[in-house]
Amino acid sequence: MNKPILELKDVKTIVNKGTSNETTILKGINLKINEGDFITIVGTNGAGKSTLFNVIGGNLRADFGEIVHNGHDITKTTEEQRTTFLARVFQDPKLGTAPRMTVAENLLLATKRGERRHLTLRKLKENMARFTKLAATMNNGLENRMATATGALSGGQRQALSFLMATLKRPDILLLDEHTAALDPHTSQNLLHATNERITQDHLTALMITHHLEDAIKYGNRLIVLKDGQIKADYQGADKARLTAKDLYEYFES
């Protein structure tokens, strides 16, 4: 049996330590993520979804337990160190892009993700055809705005750019942190469709937080339910295929 690409072993996270507001957010998370998994994650507010992503991403330290990437313990590595194999798209379209740089310049910047910076020629013209073709896969006109400052894009186009930047170098792990939540329904569904196509075609390993149960059921090969800092269910294969929104609503009651 192949080793998981990422594994969380009894991970616990505590906030406000040493105060009267001390709270354990993640309460012993055990999770094996296999290469090619597309895992959707649902849960109530405060269930620990964003905390889980922050711990995986490295911008929040696990207080107990281990995080293992391809057999190597990365529990104490920094957020910056993890950018060599991990990328993240946030809910806010303004995050993850440089507003004064053009679409093409942002994509060029993404080609250097996880690398040490050097003083070299930009080679923007040489990459323009490639970037334009890539932007066209988003099906929202982004390819026609390659010379536009990112701050002047619509929310949907800017989020599509964030997604392209995150996947340009094919990360081992892709975290989608409610990346369509700030968009209108039509734009959201368009980006979700493009997201699914890219993940499927490039065989990416991804985790996606969503509040829309129908989307959680429709996309991915696994669905995880988080509640009170614990994994209450991990639906896969035929079990996930049989799931309905009504089945999931039971976890949100009481």
- Domain boundaries, given as residue ranges, for the chain: 4-85+171-251, 101-169
Residue 122: pLDDT over 80: no
Residue 19: pLDDT over 60: yes
- Tell me the pLDDT band of 119, cut-offs 50, 70 and 90: very low
Helix axes 103-110, 124-136, angle to 10 degrees: 100
Burial category of 96 from C-beta neighbours within 10 Å (exposed 0-12, middle 13-18, buried 19 and up): buried
Residue 80: pLDDT over 50: yes
pLDDT in the model for residue 1: 53
Residue 116: pLDDT over 90: no
> Quick one: 4-85+171-251 is in which CATH superfamily?
P-loop containing nucleotide triphosphate hydrolases (3.40.50.300)
3-state SS class at 167? helix
Average pLDDT rounded to a whole number, residues 243-247? 93
> Half-sphere exposure (CA, 13 Å, Cβ side) for 125?
1
199 neighbors 191 (Cβ within 8 angstroms): no
Report CA-CA distances (Å) from 28 to 50, 53, 230.
16, 15, 7
Give the tens place of pLDDT for each residue, 179-238.
999 899 999 999 999 999 999 999 999 999 999 999 999 999 999 999 999 999 999 999
pLDDT in the model for residue 123: 76
Give the tens place of pLDDT for each residue, 54-70.
999 999 999 999 999 99
Residue 254: pLDDT over 90: no
Regarding pTM above 0.75, the answer is: yes
Radius of gyration of the chain (CA): 19
Q: Compute the distance between CA of residue 191 and CA of residue 212 in angstroms, rounded to an integer.
A: 14
- Tell me the pLDDT band of 124, cut-offs 50, 70 and 90: confident
**C-alpha angle 178-182-184 in degrees, rounded to nearest 5:** 120
pLDDT in the model for residue 129: 93
Residue 166: pLDDT over 50: yes
Average pLDDT rounded to a whole number, residues 122-148? 91
pLDDT in the model for residue 96: 84
Residue 147: pLDDT over 80: yes
- Tell me the pLDDT band of 253, cut-offs 50, 70 and 90: confident
Report CA-CA distances (Å) from 72 to 26, 49, 54, 171.
22, 24, 19, 16
Mean pLDDT, the chain, integer: 92
Average pLDDT rounded to a whole number, residues 66-92? 95
